[in-house]
């Protein structure tokens, strides 16, 4: 059996961009989307990485996602933006939002952007990390098609609804906390399905509400919320912050992000950026240094540090791509 092929990050990005362009995505958008998928793969987030490319391409080809969309920014208040992703990929809308948020947060102390008519936005921690690298704390809320049943219900209604946070550290890379509100991100189940692997019991239920290790049955069924009723309540909070606040579709109204069937999902994301130096009176850096020292003293690691090791290895060695997935992407790029 042929093993995985290693691609450099640049080679992977070029291949994905070419595949997206062949699927009727503009070169500018293809480059932004390809960079986001490769960044996810490099960080070890396979469910948001190269495994997404075939479904992205299929959706762009039929117009479920508009590969040529150009995000539109509306300033509704000096520190509040409303961004129309125009049924395109979410990444170009994020690329427009982040510089605006950074500038406005530094001027006003805090800034917010609400994105509507959007799509899958990949690793939630990445836009927060980018803002934190500029000295800001950031939160992001994003809803997704229904996958989790509310407490007391048997039918999925809420999305896995990722939430992420990042903050600058006194030294070194930002602190990043990124979690879906299911026990695992649904993308991990998609990646397992693509790889022909089973999933651990306890991740999901099949359509009859029974535990399953079959990723196809899990996708057709429902995810188990992290913390059960508490996780479902947090998923509801994200639904409000990402969909209601942005004027986007709720998860139970959105079409799947995983196939080319149906209309645009039109989901939403909300990003908040905070000038930590201003609000802390300049004490934030020292306080974060004390917090990191306290973690080290008890032998704990701060969340998100594993991604840094994976990222460094990918930069040195490239990323390993399974034969079937690589062949599929190469065929799309021809």
**Beta pairing partners, 271:** 113, 140
What are the tens digits of pLDDT across the range 166-219?
A: 999 999 999 999 998 988 877 788 788 878 899 998 898 888 888 899 999 988
Given a cut of 80, whether residue 143 has pLDDT beyond it is yes
Q: Looking at residue 202, what is its pLDDT?
A: 86
What are the tens digits of pLDDT across the range 246-257?
A: 999 999 999 999
Q: Looking at residue 187, what is its pLDDT?
A: 73
Q: Can you tell me the mean pLDDT for 298-319?
A: 94
**Structure tokens of 287?**
């306080």
Q: Which residue in the block uniquely carries the two structure tokens 């690589």?
A: 326
Higher pLDDT, 100 or 3: 100
Q: Can you tell me the mean pLDDT for 147-168?
A: 90
Chain length of the chain: 334
Q: Looking at residue 185, what is its pLDDT?
A: 73
Q: How far apart are CA 333 and CA 23, in angstroms?
A: 8
Given a cut of 90, whether residue 35 has pLDDT beyond it is yes
Assign 71 to helix, strand or coil: coil
Given a cut of 90, whether residue 222 has pLDDT beyond it is no
Q: Looking at residue 194, what is its pLDDT?
A: 77
**Beta pairing partners, 138:** 166, 273
Given a cut of 60, whether residue 1 has pLDDT beyond it is no
**Structure tokens of 315?**
């930069």
Q: Looking at residue 106, what is its pLDDT?
A: 97
Q: Can you tell me the mean pLDDT for 20-32?
A: 98
Higher pLDDT, 152 or 72: 72
**Structure tokens of 223?**
């995810």
pLDDT tier for residue 65 given thresholds of 50, 70 and 90: very high
Assign 191 to helix, strand or coil: helix
Compute the radius of gyration of the chain from its Cα atoms: 19
Taking Cα atoms as reference points, which of 131, 121, 125, 194 lies closest to residue 159?
A: 121
Beta-strand relationship, 163-167 and 136-142: antiparallel
Beta-strand relationship, 136-142 and 267-275: antiparallel
What integer best gives the mean pLDDT of the chain?
95
What are the tens digits of pLDDT across the range 233-292?
A: 999 999 999 999 999 999 999 999 999 999 999 999 999 999 999 999 999 999 999 999
Q: Can you tell me the mean pLDDT for 115-133?
A: 98
Given a cut of 90, whether residue 118 has pLDDT beyond it is yes
Q: How far apart are CA 36 and CA 228, in angstroms?
A: 31
Q: Can you tell me the mean pLDDT for 59-78?
A: 98
Cβ pair 190, 47 in contact under 8 A: yes
Strand arrangement of the beta sheet that strand 110-118 belongs to: 72-77, 80-84, 110-118, 267-275, 136-142, 163-167, 175-179
């Amino acid at each position: 059996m042929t093993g995985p092929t290693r691609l450099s990050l640049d080679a992977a990005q070029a291949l994905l961009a070419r595949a997206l362009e062949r699927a009727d995505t503009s070169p500018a958008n293809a480059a932004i989307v390809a960079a986001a998928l490769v960044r996810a793969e490099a960080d070890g987030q396979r469910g948001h990485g190269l495994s997404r490319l075939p479904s992205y391409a299929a959706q762009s080809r039929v117009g479920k996602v508009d590969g040529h969309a150009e995000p539109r920014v509306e300033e509704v208040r000096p520190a509040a933006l409303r961004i129309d992703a125009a049924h395109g990929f979410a990444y170009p809308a994020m690329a427009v939002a982040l510089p605006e948020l950074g500038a406005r947060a530094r001027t006003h102390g805090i800034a917010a952007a609400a994105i509507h008519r959007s799509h899958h936005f990949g690793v939630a921690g990445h836009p927060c990390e980018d803002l934190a690298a500029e000295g800001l704390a950031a939160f992001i809320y994003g809803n997704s098609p229904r996958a989790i049943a509310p407490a007391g219900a048997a039918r999925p209604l809420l999305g896995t609804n990722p939430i992420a946070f990042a903050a600058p550290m006194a030294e070194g890379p930002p602190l990043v906390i990124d979690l879906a509100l299911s026990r695992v991100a649904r993308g991990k189940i998609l990646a397992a399905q693509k790889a022909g692997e089973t999933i651990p019991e306890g991740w999901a239920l099949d359509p009859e509400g029974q535990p399953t290790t079959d990723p196809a049955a899990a996708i057709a069924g429902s995810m188990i919320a992290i913390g059960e009723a508490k996780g479902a309540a947090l998923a509801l909070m994200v639904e409000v912050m990402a969909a209601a606040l942005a004027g986007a579709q709720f998860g139970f109204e959105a079409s799947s992000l995983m196939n080319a069937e149906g209309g645009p999902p039109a989901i939403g994301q909300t990003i908040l950026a905070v000038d930590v130096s201003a609000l802390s009176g300049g004490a934030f850096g020292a306080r974060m240094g004390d917090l990191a020292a306290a973690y080290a003293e008890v032998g704990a690691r701060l969340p998100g540090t594993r991604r840094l090791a994976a990222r460094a290895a990918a930069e040195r060695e490239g990323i390993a791509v399974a034969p079937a997935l690589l062949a599929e992407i190469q065929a799309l790029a021809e």
